[in-house]
């Protein structure tokens, strides 16, 4: 006998990369050398001082018990100093910061906290799949808002206004998800964008949720936080993490920042779901947040070299792309000669043992795009290009 699944399990598909990574492992087990350019999984090490702090903390007898649901005071204070130094945003370490087990957890906790069945959620038509998936899991109605490619993948605010004002009261839009630097397109964050977003949230009484994990990676200008905009704390929550910016993806260290009422509300849900984070991880994260600006510049220099190699890979396929992208990925449009992103991805995977991400997994508008990750040594990216060029037949 099989017990029937809940509706949310019936309606939710396994995460695309979970399925693909299983296929990658099967090929590798069969002896094939797979080059994975699809996953945003940083391969560089955390800073040495981060590792040292972990080792020292794990040896303490008091480090292995339950920890505060709000994280250690030291971690919250380090996050507050990081926000002040990096973005010029003052945060109260006691009331405006909530450590999380990665920002993906934050997407779930925020959704559970603020959404009822039938509430509407605005998500970008190209974006992190978890925005849609989690919203649906909690019973909300997902409404995509357009991004204007000709305007650098900026939101179409007029269309968004029509969506909000055209909803019946029983299905009122309640949350809008924003993510800049944008994944997957790499569109940079701008102060004008954030000011418009905050004004939009105020005008329509929405909770603006900004996901900000890429602001320190290949940034062309000083990074900015949505919370630096006047009035943002009244209507907005910002998620951030150490996964991409500090090479700590597997450590699952993130946080949300916002006004005390929002933090307290999410903590009510979170405290019923987990029992805090491992103390040595938090101690190490506290140290990681002191990494110097030079450390970040050195990491970005490595990514810049990889970026040049990715451009050569895309040129070999015949893709077009912009050179102002920020973050850990490159977004590229396929040439007309290639039938579809899905066909290209499958062909490269099976015949060249090179895995890249098809754009459609981020939304239907991505059907003619692919996304390439910079989380692979430059030499491996160059090897992927050599494999493409080994066969003169067009892909």
- Give the CA angle between residues 332, 337, 343 to the nearest 5°: 70
* Model pLDDT, residue 392: 44
Average pLDDT over residues 224-239: 98
Average pLDDT over residues 313-318: 96
Name which of 232, 212, 234, 236 is nearest 223 in CA terms.
Answer: 212
The model's pLDDT over 209-225, given as tens digits with 9 standing for 90+, comes to 999 999 999 998 999 99
> Which residues, listed in sequence order, are joined to residue 207 by a DSSP beta bridge?
175
CA 195 to each of CA 29, 158, 174, 227, 232: distance values in angstroms, whole numbers, following the listed order: 50, 15, 19, 10, 8
Most confidently predicted of 9-23, 57-71, 154-168: 57-71
Tell me the pLDDT band of 2, cut-offs 50, 70 and 90.
confident
Question: Looking at the predicted structure, is the pLDDT value of residue 196 above 70?
Answer: yes
Q: Which residues contact 57 (CB under 8 A, 6 or more apart)?
A: 63, 279, 280, 283, 284
Average pLDDT over residues 371-386: 97
The model's pLDDT over 362-373, given as tens digits with 9 standing for 90+, comes to 998 999 999 999
CATH of 7-45+293-389, one of 2.10.25.10, 1.10.3720.10, 3.90.1150.10, 3.30.830.10: 3.90.1150.10
Per-domain residue ranges for the chain? 7-45+293-389, 65-288
Sign of CA dihedral 204, 209, 214, 216: positive
Between CA 250 and CA 243 the distance in angstroms is 7
Between CA 338 and CA 226 the distance in angstroms is 38
Between CA 42 and CA 19 the distance in angstroms is 19
Give CATH for domain 65-288: 3.40.640.10
Same fold, 7-45+293-389 and 65-288: no
Average pLDDT over residues 26-38: 87
Least reliable range by pLDDT among 48-62, 155-169, 293-307: 155-169
Percent of the chain with pLDDT strictly greater than 70: 95
Asked whether the whole model's pTM tops 0.85, one would answer yes
Higher pLDDT, 234 or 388: 234
> Which residues, listed in sequence order, are joined to residue 145 by a DSSP beta bridge?
124
Higher pLDDT, 194 or 274: 194
Between CA 277 and CA 112 the distance in angstroms is 20
């Amino acid at each position: 006998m099989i017990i029937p699944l809940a509706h949310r399990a019936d309606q939710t598909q396994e995460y695309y990369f979970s399925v693909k990574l299983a296929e990658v492992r099967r090929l590798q087990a069969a002896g094939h050398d797979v080059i994975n350019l699809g996953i945003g999984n940083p391969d560089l090490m955390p800073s040495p001082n981060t590792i040292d702090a972990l080792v020292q903390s794990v040896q303490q007898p008091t480090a292995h018990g339950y920890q505060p649901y709000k994280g250690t005071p030291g971690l919250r204070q380090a996050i507050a100093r990081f926000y002040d130094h990096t973005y010029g945003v003052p945060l109260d370490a006691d009331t405006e910061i909530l450590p999380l087990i990665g920002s993906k957890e934050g997407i779930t906790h925020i959704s559970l906290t603020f959404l009822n069945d039938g509430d509407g959620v605005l998500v970008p038509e190209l974006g992190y799949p978890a925005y849609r998936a989690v919203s649906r899991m909690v019973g909300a109605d997902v409404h995509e808002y357009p991004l204007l490619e000709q305007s650098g993948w900026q939101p179409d605010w007029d269309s968004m206004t029509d969506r909000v004002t055209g909803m019946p009261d029983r299905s009122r839009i309640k949350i809008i998800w924003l993510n800049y630097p944008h994944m997957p397109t790499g569109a940079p964050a701008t102060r004008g964008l954030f000011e418009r977003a905050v004004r939009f949230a105020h005008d329509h009484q929405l909770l603006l949720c900004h996901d900000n994990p890429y602001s320190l990676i290949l940034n062309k200008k000083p990074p900015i936080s949505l919370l630096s905009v006047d009035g943002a704390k009244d209507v907005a929550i910002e998620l951030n993490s150490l996964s991409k910016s500090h090479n700590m993806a597997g450590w699952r260290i993130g946080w949300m920042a916002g006004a005390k009422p929002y933090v307290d509300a999410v903590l009510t849900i979170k405290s019923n779901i987990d029992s805090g984070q491992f103390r040595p991880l938090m101690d190490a994260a506290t140290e990681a947040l002191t990494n110097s600006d030079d450390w970040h510049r050195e990491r970005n220099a490595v990514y810049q070299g990889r970026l040049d190699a990715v451009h050569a890979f895309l040129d070999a396929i015949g893709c077009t792309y912009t050179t102002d992208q920020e973050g850990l990925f490159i977004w590229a449009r396929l040439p007309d000669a290639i039938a579809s992103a899905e066909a290209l991805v499958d062909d490269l995977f099976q015949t060249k043992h090179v895995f890249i991400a098809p754009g459609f997994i981020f939304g239907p508008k991505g059907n003619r795009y692919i996304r390439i990750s910079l989380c692979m040594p430059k030499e491996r990216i160059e090897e992927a290009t050599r494999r493409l060029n080994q066969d003169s037949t067009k892909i």
